[in-house]
Amino acid sequence: MNILLCSINTLKRLYDISSVEVGQHLYWQLGGFQVHAQVLITSWVVIAILLVSAILVVRNPQTIPTFGQNFFEYVLEFIRDVSKTQIGEEYGPWVPFIGTMFLFIFVSNWSGALLPWKIIQLPHGELAAPTNDINTTVALALLTSMAYFYAGLSKKGLAYFGKYIQPTPILLPINILEDFTKPLSLSFRLFGNILADELVVVVLVSLVPLVVPIPVMFLGLFTSGIQALIFATLAAAYIGESMEGHH
């Protein structure tokens, strides 16, 4: 009987940890702005993880790389390949931007899946992956949109806007609408997939034993990495498109 009660209590605690609070946030007042505190906290944790990892690797580089240095060199080479494939020969200046987007989204998604954020209790809302908040994905998408316009304007000057009337001025409204839908598409694609993955795990935990949800959680790690790659690839493709000047 005691074993059964212990098992029930354990499952109840796991269910509480896996629950999702929708529409509740812990707010901080910064100046005249109201911000989501839990998103700032988890974003700072992700940034700290990236900064500490980078510092540990570059502080003592070796001619024959160690495991950590070798891993980060592989990641850098992967990001360079993605940038070069999508942007072309002028990819060099854009590697830091594409790399930042990829690594921040990747570590954010994995932190939401691996770190037990929900154990930390907040007065309102809960801690989760930064990309689980629509404001974060919109901000990342707007940064990509700004980079997109900056790349085109720095390459062609005001002549960049000539692309909106190509191949015919009749397409002007459609071409303008396309530039507005790009950040919207990036934002909702990332936010929707991350939120859907968490909801699937919550539903499975509430309906079936943990034997089934655990493999789904591992699948979520894979799809989280894919989402980071898709976002970075599309961002590089949009930048490359603006520099080439055609659709």
Let me know if residue 91 belongs to a domain. yes
Assign 3-class secondary structure to the chain: CHHHHHHHHHHHHHHHHHCCCCCCCCEEEECCEEEEHHHHHHHHHHHHHHHHHHHHHHCCCCCCCCHHHHHHHHHHHHHHHHHHHHHCCCCHHHHHHHHHHHHHHHHHHHHHHHCCHHHCCCCCCCCCCHHHCHHHHHHHHHHHHHHHHHHHHHHHHHHHHHHHHCCCHHHHHHHHHHHHHHHHHHHHHHHHHHHHHHHHHHHHHHHCCCCCHHHHHHHHHHHHHHHHHHHHHHHHHHHHHHHHCCC
For the chain, the C-alpha Rg in angstroms (whole number) is: 22
Let me know if residue 4 belongs to a domain. no
pTM of the model: 0.77
Predicted local confidence at residue 11, as pLDDT: 44
What's the domain range around 111?
45-243
Residue with tokens 């930042």, as numbered in its chain: 100
Let me know if residue 34 belongs to a domain. no
The domain tally of the chain equals 1
Other beta carbons less than 10 A from residue 92's beta carbon: 11
* Per-residue confidence in pLDDT tens, the chain, 247 aa: 555 455 445 445 444 444 444 456 677 777 777 777 788 888 899 999 999 988 888 787 777 777 778 888 888 899 999 999 988 888 888 999 999 999 998 998 888 777 766 677 766 667 777 887 888 888 888 888 888 888 888 888 888 787 777 777 787 888 888 877 877 777 777 777 766 666 666 666 666 666 665 666 676 677 778 888 888 998 898 888 888 754 4
Let me know if residue 221 belongs to a domain. yes
Let me know if residue 7 belongs to a domain. no
How many residues are given for the chain? 247
Let me know if residue 40 belongs to a domain. no
Predicted local confidence at residue 155, as pLDDT: 83
Let me know if residue 216 belongs to a domain. yes
Let me know if residue 11 belongs to a domain. no
